[in-house]
Chains A and B, each alone.
Chain A
Amino acid sequence: MLIDLREEYKRMGLPNNYWQLSDVNRDYRVCDSYPTELYVPKTATAHIIVGSSKFRSRRRFPALSYYHKDNHVSICRSSQPLSGFSARCLEDEQMLQAIRKASPGSDFIYVVDTRPKLNAMANRAAGKGYENEDNYSNIKFQFIGIENIHVMRNSLQKMLEVCELKSPSMSDFLWGLENSGWLRHIKAILDAGVFIAKAVSEEGASVLVHCSDGWDRTAQVCSVASLLLDPHYRTLKGFMVLIEKDWISFGHKFNHRYGNLDGDPKEISPVIDQFIECVWQLMEQFPCAFEFNERFLIHIQHHIYSCQFGNFLCNSQKERQELKIQERTYSLWAHLWKNRGDYLNPLFRDDPSQTQGTLHLPTTPCNFMYKFWSGMYNRFEKGLQPRQSVTDYLMAVKEETQQLEEELEALEERLEKIQKVQLNRTQVKSKQSEPSKHSGFSTSDNSTANTPQDYSGNTKSFPSRSPSQGDEDSALILPQDNLKSSDPDLSANSDQESGVEDLSCRSASGGECAPSEDSGKDPDSDEAVFLTA
């Protein structure tokens, strides 16, 4: 299954009056870590692009990451400008102007530097740095303050040390977790994404995002913002597209960051892991907004390191092309898509009015919103997980319901046919002057013991929960209202354990369907229908 980024840009509504496809990088001559196909503002000529690229670290000039159709606002990404203390570049300034002009209705753009101010200033001494508001007309500059790859590497290291403690006390664990600073970093990335999403959706202002080289924090922040803004990226396919676009095509250095080869240990950093965790934190906050589940994220993360698939090899599109990765390796996306049944979120609501387009993350109170992701960091430890997967259980219930509904449809069709046959027969009989008119159905036909009225009467009126039961729902919330209440019979033999909860060692993970056990609970003639069929 191929992910075609052209399709994705088309879905965003491009090219249009303001944005065009540029082939200026078609041989990677302008920037060797960028893709060959990029979208730039219509007013950005090749000259401007090339000039701007010379003024940007690694030649990574401002290019489009996400286009918000609703209000023509864009998120662009680049690397830091080589401004030093006082250098200027006309083409780069024109580039930013072009971006602003490409979003009509907005008289300024945000330039978001995701680094801490101190780091950005230090870069100036090396001839790099950040945009000076005085030089660039109509920009509002903003530091966000996400730490660099070395800090993140150490943070993960410390957190894993906490995870490896044998029998930590509560104090050890909480102190250790806080000292690692890991959740603080996750929050910083999410906050940045929220800022950008707000700028785009509420203020209608385009944003240019960069860090140092524009391939780590920039990628994280742009993809988080896109996720918040566009529900398409919250679907299975959309998420794959997002990673293909903002991480793979835009030259995130997979080989270096994830130690695919025996390289420089200082290049290693859990950058995409942090992004994946941000997605998980969002899933916990918005359980109905994502089409995929936690397992999807964990498997993707696993395969980024496994090197089993070619998507995450090499450091740039150029390298992949040279090594003919597409012809010589398999794509993870095809593999995941084939097994997508395992990755679905049973609570997903794809009704657009329900999924509220843009996700709004509450900003206060927020401290305890960030949970420790034991599903990721303790996933190989026995006895540490919730040993019952509500997701799997719900999926099983959903599948069974679907099967039952399909059977229902099939039976209804059969019934219709039989009714037609009956009708023809009685019509024939009435032509033979049969006096009494039945409801149209001959009782001499033994194949249906139930009359259709009974059947339709019972299937339409499902027993709804009586109001006095109130909120005694189990942890399982069946999403559709017209489901029969097929709560498992928890009072008798629990399907998974013999009733003894063993909190210290692992029990067999379940997933067996309890719903089939409670057939005794539904005395309606739904049962009877099956019996006669």
Chain B
Amino acid sequence: MADDKDVLRDVWFGRIPTCFTLNQDEVTEREAEAYYLLLPRVSYLTLVTDKVKKHFLKVMRAEDVEEMWFEYEGTPLKWHYPIGVLFDLHASNSVLPWSITVHFKNFPDRDLLHCPSSSVIEAHFMSSIKEADALKHKSQVVNDMQKKDHKQLWMGLQNDKFDQFWAMNRKLMEYPTEEGGFRYIPFRIYQAMTGNDRPFIQKLFRPVSPEGNAYTLGDLLKEMYPAAITNDGEQKRYQVVIHGIEPLLETPLQWLSEHLSHPDNFLHICVVPTPSD
């Protein structure tokens, strides 16, 4: 059961100081000033940047404005990935604030999904929760919830209401005591290196061994991405980052799933190269 409330609050209230700058090629009527904002790690870009849009629209004509999208050092940022994941993956070892470039033209269809309204974000968020519960509980818990309970999860995220969200989410973090954990752990492992053959690793993985031993983060990585683990005597090549920190590899996976999952109920793990100082 998720009873370590302090960790849950720290995860929920994690923020990334960000500086939004308008792309130089956008047509403006006067100079656009940068806009500074603290972004919630656990939310989504298109959900929390209305103010950014309003700010830049002040210096632009309506006909020059199409769907807003964001880019960091040439990489379009996928709004449907949690903000904290985008930061850890692309900018975790760079100087703060995180410098994001704002675009209103030339939407990169090949790289980004469109986000015409917040209901698209809600649908995506709820689908992630349902997918996670399919893995954790064969969808039994999420299906037993009423529509208003689902709505409460979304409203909690949208309005940054920790208590409202967790009043419902705690049900998704329960499991039969005799099982020792969820059926499978919902996780995604992202690799920061370019030229990947896949955007992330997601496979079936149980939190408890057949003998009843708790699997750890290290066990998961050994199975899914052994290159991320440093062997004895080797120099550390990679950092394994969750919510901006490097949890000990001995941490039980079940505990991580209950406490360090995002509101979408997935454990998002970023493997990034260790910075060379």
* Same complex origin of A and B: no
**Chain A residues within 8 Å of B, Cβ to Cβ:** none
**Chain B residues within 8 Å of A, Cβ to Cβ:** none
